[in-house]
Amino acid sequence: MMEPVSLPRLEGIARFAHEHHWNLMLDDRLSGRISEWRGDGVIATIRRRSTRLGAIRQLRRAGIPVVDLTIECKRLKLPRVISDHTAIGRLGGAHFKERGFDNVAWFSCGWSEVHLRRYNGFSAMFKRKVPKFGLRNLRRRLAECEKPIGIFAYNDTDAAQVIYVARELGLDVPHDVAVLGIGDDPFLCENQSTPISSVRQDLVRNAYEGARLLQRLMDGGPAPAAPVLIEPTGLTARKSTDTLSHPDSLVRAALVYIENNLDRSFGAPEIAKATGIPRHRLDYLFAKKIGRSVGAEIYARRIAKAQRLLGDPSLAVKTVAKECGFCNIAYLSNVFRRETGLSPRAWRAAARKNGKPA
């Protein structure tokens, strides 16, 4: 191994190594000792400004297979197992769209092939190139941009930076600025003034599959023609995106009521009464501004919440049904199957297998 490797990746490598009786060596200072090294293969995380590129080339000339777990150094042609960064970007975009955000931006402190793939996946969900905020202009852009805005950050560290600057400007997170990170690092995400919602990468599987590929190469097997992609496993929603966005304040008030009451039975009359919007006006606004009836929107929000909760394998389907306002599992299953084509259990199984629903 070369370059520092994250703990989840070390776990994935260790798991495969234990199953296949490998002898492991952790070394980020292999440069200059290649001729003395007697290993059979290398798993690396090669960064864009790596000082180890010469060592990697020496290893390859010596016939020692190398598998890269990143794609930051794209010009170096290596077998790779990487996170599906485009899928990560799409998942972030879907999260904001589900909450009604069309006014969104990307924030990162740097730029690399990984940034590009995540950004492109995010932009694709909005069918346009979304604005990019950088560290130098973050304060100005946050102060000047239209609110509310959803900001997707390259990782949890960058997301924490956005929250810090927003707070300094007196902006409310998440109602003025909703923030989403990548990595789902509990230390960073849960120890902020506003806990950070974050996309979950499967770095354990990333490294495990990297080790599997290295074993194949060491056995004389062929290298894949393209990087092996590992899907994200989902998204952990926390307070930093616990909001809804809509340019019409009356519609937004109704949507907030719906989102906050999904665990109980209610309909358009209750929404109209709670928000002070006449029933006929409420029906008109939903048809014109959202494009579906109040009842259809309630069902859509219930199903979206059920999908989020089903991503947690520790929750029983019965609990999911109750939290989403369905009186029993059968009712949830009927509506869920009608809307998604799958039963709740089948959807959960597909999500666990593929990192997303089928």
Both 325 and 262 in one domain: the answer is yes
Both 64 and 155 in one domain: the answer is no
The predicted structure's pLDDT at residue 304: 85
Domain count, the chain: 3
Q: Note whether 286 and 293 are within 8 A (CB).
A: yes
Both 194 and 93 in one domain: the answer is yes
Give the up-direction half-sphere exposure of residue 51: CA atoms within 13 A in the CB hemisphere: 6
Q: Is residue 1 part of a domain?
A: no
Both 78 and 208 in one domain: the answer is yes
Q: Note whether 282 and 258 are within 8 A (CB).
A: no
pTM for the model stands at: 0.78
Can you give the residue range of the structural domain that contains 101? 85-200+235-241
Q: pLDDT, tens digit, for every residue of 21-72? A: 998 877 665 555 666 677 889 998 887 665 567 778 888 888 889 999 999 8
Both 18 and 122 in one domain: the answer is no
Cβ burial of 341 (10 Å; 0-12, 13-18, 19+) is: exposed
Eight-state DSSP code of residue 37:
-
Eight-state DSSP code of residue 223:
P
More confident residue, 354 or 186: 186
Q: pLDDT, tens digit, for every residue of 76-125? A: 889 999 999 999 999 999 999 988 899 999 999 999 999 999 999 999 99
CATH number for 303:
1.10.10.60
Both 95 and 187 in one domain: the answer is yes
Both 333 and 255 in one domain: the answer is yes
CATH number for 29:
3.40.50.2300
Both 192 and 208 in one domain: the answer is no
Both 78 and 212 in one domain: the answer is yes
Both 37 and 68 in one domain: the answer is yes
Rounded Cα gap, residues 312 and 307, in angstroms: 9
Both 189 and 104 in one domain: the answer is yes
Both 260 and 172 in one domain: the answer is no
Q: What residues pair up with 77 in beta bridges, in sequence order? A: none
Rounded Cα gap, residues 283 and 295, in angstroms: 10
pLDDT exceeds cutoff 80 at 5: no
The three-class DSSP label of residue 313 is coil
The predicted structure's pLDDT at residue 52: 67
Q: 241, 271, 293: which is the final residue of a domain?
A: 241
